Chains A and B, each alone.
Chain A
Amino acid sequence: MTEPVFCVKDLSISFKLNGKWCQATQNVNFDLMENETLCIVGESGCGKSITAMSCLGLLPKKKNIHIEGQVLYKGVNLLDLTEKELNDYRGDDLSMIFQEPMTSLNPVLTVGEQITESLLVHKSMTKAQARETGIELLNKVKIPEAEKRFSQYPHQFSGGMRQRVMIAIALACKPTVLFADEPTTALDVTIQAQVLHLLKELRRETKMSMVMITHDMGVVASVADKVLVMYGGQVIENSSCKDLFEAPNHPYTKALLNAIPRPDRHIDHLTSIPGQVPTLAGMPSGCRFSTRCELVSDQCAMTPDVNTVAGQQSHHYRCWNV
């Protein structure tokens, strides 16, 4: 068996809120093979973005943030590296598309400058080469009049176009692993399809692996090889994409899949999961979904073990009652 390119082991991230440590993610584990796409899904606030950010060492190194576990890229634990050492990987081997396209671009630098920066730093290109590559990238993400747009500022771009610029920035150095945090949320449906298509194409061309964060189960179905379902900072189910859609195990996953509106199911209202996500400070001990679960029992006050589905080696879930 080949080694995974990227590997997260028992990643727990805690924040100190009002003097109390709150665990925002608990023992997150995943592997990523070459050319594989992993989707992370889960409700807002369940810790998807911070997981991805800690994979690039982007969570601020402050006293009120504590990270445990390992983030291994080609066997190197990125959490042990200094900022300077991390910079050899970031933007080059590893890159990230951020969730907030409106604020993630620097307002006082031209779009071209922001795209070519990493080329100049990592690929030691000349200005002219970088410019050429930059314009090519803008064309690739379907920005019309790329040549002209290259020297414009972010405020002259719409939200969707900014998101595509972000994508161009992340792809500039042809990363080995791309972290894409809801890259299509700000886009309209046609552009969304184009962007997904583009990402798939790149994946084919460059053997890139990808971690994609999304709320959209449709996106999952179209790009994912593997899926990680998170709830309240815990991975509650992970499996291949096919197995997850065919045979979800965890009650939360089932509810999530049921919440997708489908034309073939004639229902008058959209199904939703009753109750609300607990806050960071008010996480129940044990299974964090227990406050909203239909199958809840006394056992749920203890953290459930990871169970493996019979006959499906890479299909795991955390639940006492399935």
Chain B
Amino acid sequence: MLVFTLKRLLASIPTLFAVLTVIFVLVRIVPGDPALAVLGDSASEEVIQEFRKSIGIDKPLWEQYLVFMGDVLQGNLGLSMATGKTVVEEVSNVLPYTLELTVASIIIGVVFGIPLGIFSAIYRNHFFDYLARMVSLLGLSFPAFYISILFMIYLSVEWDWFPVFSEYIPWSDPLTRLYHLALPALSLGVIMIGYVARTSRSSMLEVLGEDYIRTAKSKGLPRNMVVFKHGFRNALIPILTLTGLYLGLLMGNSVLTEIVFNRPGLGGLIVGSLESRDYTMLQGLIVTYAFFIVLANLITDISYGLVDPRVKNND
């Protein structure tokens, strides 16, 4: 298992390189001169040149590329054009908020979505199945910000159960922080429940029709053993893959949720840097997202090895 994990780890390095290269190119083909954006139209030629030099975009592209890669590998994402602080500092101030939001909603999605989907498959076309499918359809069809707003109107404003706006809470006060996390995490979690439940249901239905389930039945095993020991573990394999994929979706949706709840996080930074055309900040944010998506894929890959013996042994 250790060897397998190391191999996967090594395999994700080229992916990360490729992603960084794409980001480098993307940022540079976006139209608009960052210098003009920051300094305004009226800036003199001299000032503009000075500025271009200060952020290194006067050099040839290949040199910019090497510098960019070198910096990123050393954990240096440059200075924010808007605030003058380092991007790393700005990002790491709010990153924990976004991470706890995504992790919490994944947990909500998995903890409720998997059982919902699995039982929905077992009781296919019974009342429970229809109910569960309705619930997951709700999660699937409402956009994140809409659910956020609904929750906010009812749970915060009307009934006053949760705070309307979140703010910076130090970790030294974990309960308050959790309290502020609850509503945003729930509104993202509902979406995850929808996706995870749908995947779990279809994957379990497929597995229950497999030949080895018939074999298990022919052994006279009790129904629970057939369904959970023989069915569930196999159904988990596609559930894991798709949950890994949904992480990307979740990060996108978290931006909107953070904005609706006025929650500190990457979402606020993105909007801010778009408004001020803070080009280094934007680049740094994309790198951060890319890093976490590659990380999520890595975790998905490794968890495969835990569930599916074929993956571990073939490598």
Contact = CB atoms under 8 A, between A and B. Distances in A.
Q: Is the interface of B mostly helix, strand, loop or mixed?
A: helix
A107 B212 contact: yes
Interface stretch (B6-14, B104-112, B127-135, B217-225): B217-225
A155 to B, nearest CB: 5
B212 to A, nearest CB: 4
B220 A92 contact: yes
Interface string A83-108: 11011111110011010100111111
Given A95-B218, A118-B219, A155 B309 contact: yes
Interface in A59-116: 83-84, 86-92, 95-96, 98, 100, 103-110, 114
Interface residues of B, number: 24
Contacts of A153: 309-310, 313
B218 A83 contact: no
Interface in B186-245: 210-212, 214-223, 225, 229-230, 233-234
A106 B215 contact: yes
Given A153-B309, A155-B310, A155-B313, A105 B221 contact: no
Contact of B215 (A86, A104, A156): A104
Contact of B211 (A83, A103, A117): A103
Interface residues of A, number: 35
A169 B211 CA distance: 15
A213 interface: no
B216 A169 contact: no
B233 A91 contact: no
A24 interface: no
Given A87-B221, A91-B219, A106 B212 contact: yes
A47 to B, nearest CB: 17
Name which of B210, B212, B221 has the most chain A CB atoms within 10 A of its CB. Answer: B212
B231 to A, nearest CB: 9
A109 B225 CA distance: 13
Interface of A: 53, 56, 58, 83-84, 86-92, 95-96, 98, 100, 103-110, 114, 117-118, 121-122, 153, 155-156, 166, 169-170
26 contacts: A53-B214, A56-B218, A58-B214, A58-B218, A84-B223, A87-B222, A89-B220, A91-B218, A98-B214, A100-B211, A104-B211, A107-B212, A107-B309, A108-B233, A109-B230, A118-B219, A121-B220, A121-B222, A153-B309, A153-B313, A155-B310, A155-B313, A155-B314, A156-B313, A166-B215, A169-B219
